[in-house]
């Protein structure tokens, strides 16, 4: 059969987790916690499973969950959204991203992504008949963290540009947007008809007192945006695959036309359980930064005398380590070798980039119990 995605192999997350298992390694590759959700949330799932919430949910998501999402968006980002017309529960962020891309992109359109770019964006653009234009996030002496070069973004926009995909806090680099960045973005897109797709799945995992700069905060940006999030990251439940899309009514109408044919609806008891949990424990969000910051700090402290160099992540549960002082081997080969030889699995960053660079970077997930991080660091420190 002729492939519709001839350049697509198996996602690196499946590849590295399988290799990790085969080698019985410590798996810091694919991003998922090594611990369970709060027992109270698990009990709520059981309660709804045992109380008849086992048939199709409404196509948009169950009303209590859409209401809880709308309340959260108002409380955290100051935007009042209509839970019926502007909030849709999705089959994980992955489906939300896919459906938004299918809704927005037509054959011949260009979509701007920032490299390193999460790997599900480009195949979805290709299937919609569009083409990705990759703009690298850059580092400079003045700004040593990866960031958007706004001039470069402006230059890349042309009459075919339909969509810009953003992802902050950023997987894999862990960088975040500032309030100033939102203004720069608004300046760049102001006189264009470009839509924005903002992947904010790590919205609650942000460190050092920084605030998450959601596109929901900005009136101008909101008008043209699909904002996607995932309960998987927020509630330590990546296996549940429940997320959501918030977008203005006109965009949501088009989004739902796709969503209904991709999955129709999302797992019912878990939607009810999350809705009730969100209502009972709104403080969960506030506690998440400190919880993960402690893990980031612990992991970085353990590695401070290693041969890796790094700048601590500003958000997400990923830490990038630069291994250029150890070897010049390319990152795909090195990640594989580390998994096989020292039993620590990571993700090579170059797989998220269109162009190969001289960077020697690996991504490690620190959403793990301390003993796992300590064992992994002990092995990494011997390199
Ligand atoms: N976007 C980013 C940046 C991610 O890291 C992930 C992975 N977890 C997703 C989307 C997909 O989220 P979900 O598991 O809810 O589909
Ligand atoms: N988002 C997760 C990561 O970055 C992986 C999700 C997946 O395996 N599709 O590791």
pLDDT higher than threshold 90 for residue 356: no
d(CA 257, CA 253) in angstroms, rounded, equals: 6
> What's the average model confidence in pLDDT over 317-329?
98
274 shares a domain with 231: yes
In a domain, 5, yes or no: no
Q: Which of 236, 251, 280 is the last residue before a domain boundary? A: 280
- What is the percent of the chain where pLDDT is above 90? 98
Q: Is the pTM of this model over 0.75?
A: yes
Q: Which ligand is nearest to the CA of 92?
A: 1
191 CA → ligand 1 middle, Å: 31
pLDDT band at 176 (very low <50, low <70, confident <90, very high): very high
Mean pLDDT for all residues in the chain: 97
Q: Nearest residue CA, atom 1 of ligand 2?
A: 31
Q: Nearest residue CA, atom 3 of ligand 1?
A: 171
293 shares a domain with 270: no
Closest CA to 17 of 366, 336, 358: 336
Closest CA to 282 of 73, 60, 33: 73
Count Cβ atoms below 10 Å from residue 261 Cβ, excluding itself.
10
Count Cβ atoms below 10 Å from residue 264 Cβ, excluding itself.
12
- Report the atom number in ligand 2 closest to the C-alpha of 201: 1
| Site to substitute for ligand 2 among 20, 30, 349, most atoms within 8 A of C-beta | 30
pLDDT of residue 280: 95
267 shares a domain with 174: yes
295 shares a domain with 220: no
Residue 275 region, left (φ>0) first, then alpha (ψ -120 to 50), else beta?
alpha
pLDDT in tens, 270-312: 999 999 999 999 888 899 999 999 999 999 999 999 999 999 9
Q: Nearest residue CA, atom 12 of ligand 1?
A: 93
Domains held by the chain: number: 2
20 shares a domain with 49: no
157 shares a domain with 85: yes
d(CA 2, CA 310) in angstroms, rounded, equals: 43
98 CA → ligand 1 middle, Å: 11
Q: Nearest residue CA, atom 7 of ligand 2?
A: 13
251 shares a domain with 237: yes
Closest CA to 194 of 221, 230, 213, 229: 221
CATH number at residue 368: 3.90.1150.10
129 shares a domain with 256: yes
Q: Which ligand is nearest to the CA of 93?
A: 1
Strand partners of residue 166:
198
pLDDT higher than threshold 90 for residue 317: yes
pLDDT in tens, 4-27: 999 999 999 999 999 999 999 999
98 shares a domain with 26: no
List the domain range (segments joined by +) for residue 245.
39-280
pLDDT higher than threshold 90 for residue 109: yes
CATH number at residue 241: 3.40.640.10
Ligand 1 binding site (Cβ under 6 Å of any ligand atom): 31, 92-94, 118, 167, 171, 199, 201, 230, 232, 238, 241, 243
Whether ligand 2 lies within 6 angstroms of the CB of 119 is answered as no
d(CA 214, CA 198) in angstroms, rounded, equals: 8
230 CA → ligand 2 middle, Å: 12
70 CA → ligand 1 middle, Å: 21
Taking CA 105 as the corner, what is the angle to CA 100 and CA 107, rounded to the nearest 5 degrees? 150
309 CA → ligand 1 middle, Å: 26
How many residues are recorded in the chain?
A: 383
In a domain, 6, yes or no: no
pLDDT in tens, 244-272: 999 999 999 999 999 999 999 999 999 99
| Site to substitute for ligand 2 among 15, 21, 31, most atoms within 8 A of C-beta | 31
Q: Which of 223, 246, 280 is the last residue before a domain boundary? A: 280
pLDDT in tens, 38-72: 999 999 999 999 999 999 999 999 999 999 999 99
């Amino acid at each position: 059969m002729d492939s519709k995605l001839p350049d697509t192999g198996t996602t690196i997350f499946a590849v590295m987790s399988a290799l990790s298992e085969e080698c019985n390694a410590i798996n810091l590759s694919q991003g998922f916690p090594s611990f369970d959700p709060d027992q109270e949330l698990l009990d709520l799932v059981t309660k709804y499973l045992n109380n008849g919430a086992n048939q199709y949910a409404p196509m948009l998501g169950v009303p209590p969950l859409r209401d809880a999402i709308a309340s959260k968006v108002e409380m955290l980002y100051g935007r009042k959204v209509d839970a019926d017309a502007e909030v849709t529960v999705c089959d994980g962020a992955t489906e939300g991203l896919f459906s938004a891309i299918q809704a927005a992109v037509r054959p011949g359109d260009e979509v701007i992504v920032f490299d390193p770019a999460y790997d599900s964006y480009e195949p979805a653009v290709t299937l919609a008949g569009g083409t990705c234009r990759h703009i690298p996030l850059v580092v400079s002496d003045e700004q040593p963290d990866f960031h958007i070069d706004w001039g470069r973004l402006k230059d890349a926009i042309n009459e075919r540009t339909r969509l810009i995909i953003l992802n902050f806090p950023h997987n894999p680099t862990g960088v975040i947007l500032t309030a100033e960045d939102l203004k720069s973005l608004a300046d760049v897109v102001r006189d264009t008809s470009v839509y924005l797709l903002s992947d904010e799945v790590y919205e609650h995992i942000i460190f050092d007192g920084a605030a998450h700069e959601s596109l929901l905060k900005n009136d101008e940006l909101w008008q043209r945006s699909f904002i996607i999030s995932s309960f998987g990251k927020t509630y330590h439940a990546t296996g549940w695959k429940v997320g959501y899309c918030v977008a203005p009514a006109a965009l949501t109408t088009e989004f739902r036309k796709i969503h209904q044919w991709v999955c129709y609806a999302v797992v019912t008891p878990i939607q009810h359980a999350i809705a009730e949990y969100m209502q009972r424990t709104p403080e969960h969000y506030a506690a998440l930064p400190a919880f993960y910051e402690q893990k980031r700090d612990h992991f970085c402290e353990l590695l401070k005398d290693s041969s890796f160099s790094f700048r601590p992540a500003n958000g997400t549960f990923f830490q990038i380590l630069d291994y250029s002082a150890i070897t010049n081997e390319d990152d795909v080969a090195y990640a594989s070798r580390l998994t096989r030889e020292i039993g620590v699995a990571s993700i090579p960053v170059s797989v998220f980039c269109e162009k190969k660079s001289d960077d020697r970077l690996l991504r490690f997930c620190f959403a793990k119990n301390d003993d796992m991080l300590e064992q992994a660091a002990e092995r990494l420190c011997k390199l």
